[in-house]
Structure formats: structure tokens, C-alpha cells
Amino acid sequence: MVKIPNMLEENEDYELIPADGEQWHVRLLKGDLIETIISFNQIKVDESMDQLKFDFNVEFSPDDSITAENLDLQKAAGKVLESIIMYNLENMENK
């Protein structure tokens, strides 16, 4: 697997929590956003800009001022998504 510098680790930096149906929530386990829980909505590839775009909701935060517009939370959400994608790519390669 390609190792990305500072890549987050599941069950160390964040954990996946089952939600309704096939949805999952993500609880942050470290840092300034500890115990903040998010859920991803749309995730899509913008081929014209060669980017992955996503949006998410804040399901819970111990800090009422934390919203999806918070830049630190946006960066954390991106790092979580990066980790989830890389983990699943590795699992697909090993099958």
C-alpha cells in the first residue's frame, strides 16, 4: 500500500459508528475536535479539476460552535476520507 504522510488510522485517530441503514458516522478520537461526530453525504470525483469533492454533516460536537464550515473540521474530514479510501483500496487489492 502507498503510505501517505500523516495518514489517519482507524480506531486510533477516528472510529466508524453504525448509523441508520447502510450509513456510518465517524467519531474523531484525537485532537481539538475530539468526540466530534460527522457523517459524509455526497462524495464525487470532479474530473475537470482532478479532485474528489465531498460534503458532510456534524452529527454531534461537545463544542456547539463547531459546524461543517469549520476549516479544521473540513481538513480532518478530508483526512478521514483519505484514510477510508486507502484502506478500502488496499483490501480490494488483497482479494
CA distances, 52 to each of 65, 73, 78, 80 (Å):
27, 17, 10, 13
Provide the mean pLDDT of the chain.
92
Q: Supply the pLDDT for residue 2.
A: 62
Residues of the chain with pLDDT under 70: 1-3, 95
Percent of the chain at pLDDT > 90 equals 73
Write down the domain spans for the chain: 14-93
pLDDT, one tens digit per residue, over 36-59 is 999 999 999 988 888 889 999 999
SS3 per-residue string spanning 69-82: CCHHHHHHHHHHHH
